[in-house]
Amino acid sequence: MLNDLEALLSNRATTDRWVTLFIFSLSDNRNGTDEEAAFMRVALNSLFSYRTFGQASFDIVGAISPAALAECRRFRLPCFNATRYAADARGFKSINWAKIKLARDVLKLGYNVHVSDLDIAYVKPIKPAIREIFSWTNGVADGSMMQEEWVYQDDPQDPRSRRPIYLANTGVILLRATNRSVGFLESLLKWESDRNPEQYIATWVAYKSWAPCSEEVTCMAVQAAGMAAIVRHPAQFAHSNCMPEPNYSPCGSRRLYVHPVCRNTSADKEAFLRWARAFFIAPGGAVASDPALLGAQDSAAIAASGLPCLGRQAVAWHERHYLSYTDPEAPRGSEGRGEGRGEGRGEARGKGGGGGGRIRGGKGKGAGKGQGQRQEDGVDEGAEEAEEAARELAGAEEAKTKTASAVGAKKEQVPQLSGTANGAEVGAVARPDPTTTTAQLAATRVMQFAEGIMGELEQAQSAGRQQGRKQKDLVQLLTGNGRRLLRHRLV
pLDDT tens, 354-371?
A: 333 333 333 333 333 333
The pLDDT score that the predictor gives to residue 289 is: 55
Nearest to 1 by CA among 55, 77, 111, 87: 77
Along the chain (491 residues), what's the average pLDDT of each consecutive run of 10 residues?
95 98 88 88 97 98 94 94 76 80 98 98 98 96 95 87 90 98 98 88 96 97 98 92 91 96 95 98 69 78 96 88 48 36 34 33 35 33 41 46 45 42 40 40 48 56 53 48 42 35
Total-model pTM:
0.68
Question: What are the pLDDT digits (tens) for 449-461?
Answer: 455 555 555 655 5
The pLDDT score that the predictor gives to residue 434 is: 39
In angstroms, the CA 373 to CA 60 distance is 40
Query: What is the distance in angstroms between the CA of the first residue and the CA of the last residue of the chain?
Result: 68
The pLDDT score that the predictor gives to residue 32 is: 78
In angstroms, the CA 191 to CA 202 distance is 10
> How distant is the alpha carbon of residue 405 from its chain centre?
21
CB 339 within 8 A of CB 375: no
- Encoded amino acid at 356, one letter: G
Residue 339: which H helix or E strand, with range?
A: helix 335-345
The pLDDT score that the predictor gives to residue 188 is: 97
What CATH architecture does domain 5-311 belong to?
A: Alpha-Beta Complex (3.90)
Domain ranges in the chain are 5-311, 329-490
Q: Which residues on neighbouring strands pair with residue 373, listed in sequence order?
A: 380
